[in-house]
Amino acid sequence: MQVIRGIEKLEAKNTVITIGNFDGVHIGHQKIFDYLKRKASQINGKSVVITFHPHPIKVLFKEHPLRLITTTDDKLKLIEKCGVDITILIPFTREFAQIEAEDFVKDILVEKLNAKWVVVGYDYRFGRGRKGDRYLLKKLGLFYGFKVTVLKAYKSKGKILSSTAVRNALNDGNIKEANLFLGRAYHIDGDVIKGLGRGSTVLGYPTANIAPIQEIIPKEGVYAVKVTIPHLSKTFKGVANIGKNPTFNNVNMSYEVHIFDFKENLLGKTIRVHFIARLRDEKKFNSPDELKKNIAHDIEMAKKVFKQDRTRLFLDF
């Protein structure tokens, strides 16, 4: 996939285009990309995704507590896995936000990209003040000679598939629903940092403590996870704890994972943790021994989960 950053040197011909933030690249987005590719194939053209960085909300409403599902790098890799020909990553600024909807269509979609077909979602808005909508886009399509397809919302189990729905599921600890909407296991990446050492010395279950780079971390609790270690090109099973370790009266959040049958020191290495299932809430136990017994139980529960698990993983290493 060709990645074009910015619009200064933008040039393409015979394109079928979709536009959006595509945070998470969930199943709904993937269906849009499938439709995009089919239409591009029909006209012997190129499938083009236009997306933005930073997210427009982070530029226009800095006080908004929006947390993104995917990093920009992961978003681009996920779009590439969908088989799109070209992704255009437009730097979103307050100046860019002042472009009128009509000018965006004329200057970028028509003159720079020679759009033959534009595919958008049912709630798509664009241009200064979000004044552009699907009706204006269709009107401009008739004027400039490109077709417009407005896709309906995709639903799963009665819920509209959206990035907001994925965020809500993760914040609620509903990993099953989040993974269903994403079409893969949600993951976090991070470098392994030095922890307090209680996992190995006090509890007998050594853990890797992570400094995650993702903005969204699932709700505090214990999870069955799979752990990809890039420098080994291997994925292992494990259990992860997200929280403050209340048994030891900690006040700071920690993100740690115990990897089954693994002894290598990962300090300073980058790992990826894929969340498969939520096992339980984080809980304050009466003693380290009681916690140790519950960790053993968590591990057994996780092993049962893994026997039935068929969740796809995002592996790009």
| % of the chain at pLDDT higher than 70 | 97
Which residue has better confidence, 317 or 259?
Answer: 259
pLDDT at 202: 57
CATH architecture of residue range(s) 182-308: Beta Barrel (2.40)
Q: Where are the domains of the chain?
A: 2-159, 182-308
| % of the chain at pLDDT higher than 90 | 80
Q: Is the pLDDT of residue 199 over 70?
A: no
Tokens of 272: 């990826």
pLDDT at 316: 65
**pTM for the predicted model, two decimal places:** 0.93
The pairing of strands 234-243 and 221-229 is antiparallel
Q: From CA 149, how far away is CA 147, in angstroms rounded?
A: 7
Helices of type H across the chain: 27-42, 56-60, 72-81, 101-103, 134-144, 163-171, 175-182, 198-201, 288-308
- Which range scores top for mean pLDDT: 10-14, 199-203, 206-210, 244-248? 206-210
Which residue has better confidence, 246 or 76?
Answer: 76
Q: What is the mean pLDDT of residues 82-91?
A: 97
Please report, for residues 24, 55, 167, 171, 212, the alpha-carbon distance to residue 215 in angstroms, rounded to integers and kept in the order given: 12, 13, 10, 11, 8
Residue 10's H or E segment, with its range, is none
Considering only 22-26, 43-47, 204-208, which range has the smallest mean pLDDT? 204-208
pLDDT at 249: 78
pLDDT at 200: 62
Q: Is the pLDDT of residue 286 over 90?
A: no
Q: What is the number of alpha carbons within 13 Å of residue 248 lying toward its C-beta?
A: 17
Provide the annotated active-site residues: 256
How far the first Cα of the chain sits from its last, in Å, is 17
207: CB partners within 8 A, 6+ apart: 195, 199, 200, 241, 256, 257, 258
pLDDT, tens digit, for every residue of 137-177? 999 999 999 999 999 988 887 889 999 999 999 999 999 99
Residue 53's H or E segment, with its range, is strand 46-53
Confirm if 265 and 180 have CB atoms less than 8 A apart. no
pLDDT at 287: 84
Q: What is the mean pLDDT of residues 55-81?
A: 94
Query: What single-letter DSSP state applies at residue 87?
Result: E
Buried b (16+ CB within 10 A) or exposed e, 97-128: eebebbebbeebbbebbbbbbbbbbeebebbe
Q: What is the mean pLDDT of residues 242-262?
A: 89
DSSP-based three-state secondary structure for 149: strand
pLDDT at 45: 96
User: Can 2-159 and 182-308 be said to share one CATH topology?
Assistant: no
Considering only 9-18, 107-116, 180-189, 236-245, which range has the smallest mean pLDDT? 9-18
CATH of 2-159, picked from 3.60.21.10, 3.40.630.30, 1.20.200.10, 3.40.50.620, is: 3.40.50.620
pLDDT at 8: 86
